[in-house]
Amino acid sequence: MMNQSYFTPDEKVHVVQMISLLVRSLGEQLTARDINQVHSIIKGAVAHGHYCRDKYGLNPVVRFLRTAVAVTENIAPDRSMVIATMLFNLARSRYVGLEELRAKFDDDIAKLVHGLINVSELYRKQAAVEDDNFHKLLLSFAEDIRVVIIMIVDRLSLMRVVDARTDEKFVREISTESRYLYAPLAHKLGLYGVKSELEDLSLKYLNNKVYSQIARKLNETKVVRDNYIADFMKPIKAELDKAGLKYEIKGRTKSINSIWNKMVKKGVDLKGMYDLFAIRIILDTTPEEEKKACWIAYSIVTDIYMANVSRLRDWITIPKSNGYESLHITVRGPEDKWVEVQIRTRRMDEIAERGLAAHWRYKGVKSEGEIDHWMNNVREVLEAGTSGQMELIRNMHMNLYDEEVFVFTPKGDLFKLRQGATVLDFAFHIHTKIGCRCTGAKVDGKTQKINYVLKSGDTVEIMTSSTQVPRQDWLNYVVTSKARNKIKQAINEANLKKAEIGREMLMRRFKNRKVEVDDAMLAKFIKKQGFKNINEFYVELHDKNLEVGVTIDQYVDFVKRLSENVTTHETAENFVLINKLPEESDGDDILVIGENVKGINYKLSKCCNPIYGDRIKGFIASDGAIKIHRTDCKNLMHLEARYPYRIIKSAWSGRLGKQFAATLRVVGQDDIGIVANITSLINKEGDTMLRNISINSLNGLFEGHLVISIDSLGKLDDLMRKLKNLKGVKDVQRI
């Protein structure tokens, strides 16, 4: 026997009674060796001070014996759950290890104890149990649904005795947890009796005045109320039998907490409550006869008891959006008491209880996808009450949230992220500024890098630095889209600022060296250097990956080489600047290209290759030369929009005595001899010369680009007309 002074006289009697009850309930499941092993471990723990009364005076041996008994009474006799319940607290205090438990008992008990220890660690995080994420984390940590069941039943056992304690804060804390955590879990698992008792006890401790008022006004014991429901149903059963209906009737009395919730929701006192008592008539019938049978049952009930027609709810004719189907009526029963009656078929009841409108969801308890189906499976096993139900539950895997991870802040706030999330993901999840300044984190007190992969239950304290900025490689350390988008945004914003500074640096050095910058030419230069966009180029200058002086030298050399590659370079002998031409007399100076002109250099722009007869304009380039463009040249349009003051009206005057280059695009059918016909036609045009030709052929069509030397626009137009008349040629355009 254990130290007798450890127990009060009442506790001694109670302990003996509970042990006897457990031995009888477990029967052959519990061996003499099991009893001896458990007794030996607990006795040693008490002797070594590992099983002392808590600060509220509760005896842990008595408490967990009560929980073990409640498990056998409310769930099913199960050896593993009973032994794990008795010993997990000793494993948590490290008096006994998991390997020792595995050796003395088996893997299953060690697994349950490990799950209970995991869950108990969550309470050290001081998280708000009202947070739905805490429910999910709890299920993730439990690893086995039996762990959750033990926790729920243990909380019920504690709530049954807690009113004797004097610490009001303790009572309110465990009552709040019972209401927001354990009662909803019990409901989801179909442990309706446990759920109702937890809610009633929570109301009793959190709002004793209301609880006592409702209990006093009801003024009936449970037996009396159950007898009332039995009397209420007796005449209904007789009439249903006469009608030949197959049915099942379930009667229940609403809990005090449920009554209080309805009073608050409807804004009425107890006298205004219609449905303190409720019954459910479940009919067995074919799908074709469902509505008929329900309305026959309705007629029977309302013939016996007077109905409140304003309380009729017909969800058979028009089901709820979630698929719920049922007839709800409220009738005046014996003693002028109002009773709610629900009428539905077996199929409707299955949908309401286990389908889209499962009862716990119908009452507003949150649910989600796969967990709905999984919880329903557990509940069905528990409700079946078969001897092998715990074996079935034991084999159910709890990988409900294997795609999510739940982590705490030091203050106990709980956050959900996707599996694989890192410290950096969590930092951006909290706030963008924190993410951008993140240098790492303290995870459960240990310093970790930004790429540390978080685990459920981690307590994470983000470390920041005012000098930290997001980097491109951070994108390799995050898995959430929020973090990825915020990092990209921060990098882009930083690069824009760098680009602005880099451009200012370059422009200032250009000005110092008195180099005039042509923006279009600079854009070509940047592209030639291999940059995808101009900002990348300026960022490289800012980061000093490019030396500004060297870059300017390269630009000047680039402009010089490009200028030397023009199609035609005329000297000052070929044009003259005069004040006015008769044809274009508008008061502006006009550059006239003609014979015997000296003093100014010009270049025929390579981008549009103007020829004699084209409408033209001049542009004063940064090197002082004037570039001649066709008026329909896109580059000229761009330059004219940005530098209108550098545009000079121009015109041809006389013959220049040499040929111009022109490029033609010819499209036609890919016939034999068509290329020969084109070249032959050009060669017959006297002074016209074919300088280059390239041909592409695809799907029976050919496209050719011809570079020719020709004297004037008139001759070019004449040549284009002749080419279009050739057999097989579809189109000829100048480019």
pLDDT in tens, 578-612: 333 444 444 456 677 655 445 557 778 877 888 77
Residue-wise pLDDT tens digits, 179-221:
888 888 787 766 767 888 899 999 999 998 888 888 877 766 5
In this predicted model, which residue has the larger pLDDT, 438 or 693?
Answer: 438
The whole-number pLDDT of residue 133 equals: 61
Long-range contacts of 110-114 (CB under 8 A, 24+ apart): 111/143, 111/144, 112/80, 112/81, 112/84, 112/88, 112/144, 112/146, 112/147, 112/150, 113/84, 113/87, 113/88, 114/143
Cα separation of 182 and 472, whole Å? 46
228: part of which helix (H) or strand (E)? helix 222-242
Most confident of 349-363, 425-439, 605-619: 425-439
Q: Which of 359, 382, 340, 180 is nearest to 254 (CA)?
A: 340
The whole-number pLDDT of residue 356 equals: 34
Split at pLDDT 50, 70, 90, the class of 299 is very high
Is residue 458 predicted with pLDDT exceeding 80? yes
- Mean pLDDT over 623-649 rounds to 82
Is residue 417 predicted with pLDDT exceeding 80? yes
Q: Which fold has domain 660-734?
A: Alpha-Beta Plaits (3.30.70)
Is residue 124 predicted with pLDDT exceeding 70? no
Burial class from Cβ neighbours inside 10 Å (0-12, 13-18, 19+) for residue 549 reads exposed
Split at pLDDT 50, 70, 90, the class of 303 is very high
Is residue 577 predicted with pLDDT exceeding 70? no
222-366, which class in CATH?
A: alpha beta
- Mean pLDDT over 401-415 rounds to 75
**Least-confidence region, from 266-270, 297-301, 535-539:** 266-270
Q: Beta strands of 374-503 (E only): which ranges?
A: 404-408, 414-418, 438-443, 446-448, 460-464
The whole-number pLDDT of residue 331 equals: 92
Cα separation of 332 and 229, whole Å? 12
Most confident of 304-313, 634-643, 712-721: 304-313
- Mean pLDDT over 403-410 rounds to 80
- Mean pLDDT over 369-394 rounds to 50
Phi-psi domain of 247 (left: phi exceeds 0; alpha: psi -120 through 50; beta: other): beta
Is residue 377 predicted with pLDDT exceeding 80? no
Split at pLDDT 50, 70, 90, the class of 262 is confident
Is residue 699 predicted with pLDDT exceeding 70? no
SS3 content of the chain, % helix, strand, coil (to 5): 55, 20, 30
**Least-confidence region, from 393-397, 635-639, 664-668:** 393-397
Distances (CA, A) of 672 to 289, 669, 707, 723: 83, 9, 22, 16
**Least-confidence region, from 95-99, 470-474, 556-560:** 556-560
Q: With pLDDT > 90 as the criterion, what percentage of the chain qualifies?
A: 17
Residue 93 near residue 85, CB atoms below 8 Å: no
408-479, which class in CATH?
A: alpha beta
Assign domain 4-206 one CATH number from 3.20.20.70, 3.40.225.10, 3.30.70.860, 1.10.3210.10.
Answer: 1.10.3210.10
pTM for the complete prediction? Answer: 0.51
Give the mean pLDDT of the chain.
79
Supply the Cα-derived Rg of the chain in whole angstroms. Answer: 45
Most confident of 53-62, 296-305, 351-360: 296-305
Is residue 665 predicted with pLDDT exceeding 80? yes
Angle at 299 between CA 294 and CA 303, to 5 degrees: 150
In the structure encoding, which two tokens stand for residue 191, read together? 């442990």
In this predicted model, which residue has the larger pLDDT, 10 or 508?
Answer: 508
The whole-number pLDDT of residue 453 equals: 93
The whole-number pLDDT of residue 379 equals: 53
For the chain, report the end-to-end CA distance as a whole number of angstroms.
108
Is residue 293 predicted with pLDDT exceeding 80? yes
Domain ranges of the chain: 4-206, 222-366, 408-479, 490-563, 568-652, 660-734
- Mean pLDDT over 342-356 rounds to 72
